[in-house]
Amino acid sequence: MELISNKIPDEFRTVIPRGLRLVHKNDQEFLLVESIFCPRGHNLLVDSVHIHGEPSIKLELMINGQKGLAFIDAFWGSHVKLFSFLPECGEGTMLEGFCPYCHCSLMEEYSCHREGCDSHTGMALQLPSSTGKVIVCARLGCPAHILDVSAIPHELTESISGINFFGAGTEDLFGGLE
Ligand SMILES: [Zn+2]
Ligand SMILES: [Zn+2]
């Protein structure tokens, strides 16, 4: 699958929070999650599984009563996930996320504003030094994810939150990955 770049606003370049960085691939610019943590400080980026050539975000997910590991693409707005199990995903399936190391819950209240999605929970991933967090909608297949950084003007975090490289619902499921 090709990465499709959405434009990163110029004003954002000077205020990129720690934990995110800009990368260039094929003359295009992407935002990449470089370090992200559970609420207890475990680094969720792993070198053992690369997606699109970069370390992925390792999570423990519970989907329809099944629990297993998932590796999420660290490219901002990508929805590529690799699962260590084959979850049964129906329409509107909700996921629950945990730290794969201390197993603490990553879930918090979040009102999804995506049309057609009425989710009230999200999975929060913490940026370094309490600068803020990334919140991902808990509804599987909903592409909503927001950047919640109080030091950055709201309009900017909104436009970053709107970036979706692959569009809605184009998730790749792969089974059997340990
Ligand atoms: Zn942890
Ligand atoms: Zn949603």
* Residues within 5 A (CB) of ion ligand 2: 112, 114, 117, 119, 137, 139, 142, 144
Average pLDDT over residues 52-77: 94
Q: What is the pLDDT of residues 46-56, one digit of tens each?
A: 999 999 889 99
Pick the ligand that lies closest to the CA of residue 114. 2
Q: What is the pLDDT of residues 91-142, one digit of tens each?
A: 789 999 999 999 999 999 999 989 889 999 999 999 998 889 999 999 988 8
What is the distance between the alpha carbons of residues 16 and 119, in angstroms, rounded to a whole number? Answer: 28
Pick the ligand that lies closest to the CA of residue 137. 2
Q: How far is the CA of 139 from the centre of ligand 2 (A)?
A: 5
Pick the ligand that lies closest to the CA of residue 116. 2
Domain boundaries, the chain: 10-161
Q: How far is the CA of 135 from the centre of ligand 1 (A)?
A: 16
Q: How far is the CA of 43 from the centre of ligand 1 (A)?
A: 8
Pick the ligand that lies closest to the CA of residue 145. 2
Pick the ligand that lies closest to the CA of residue 59. 1
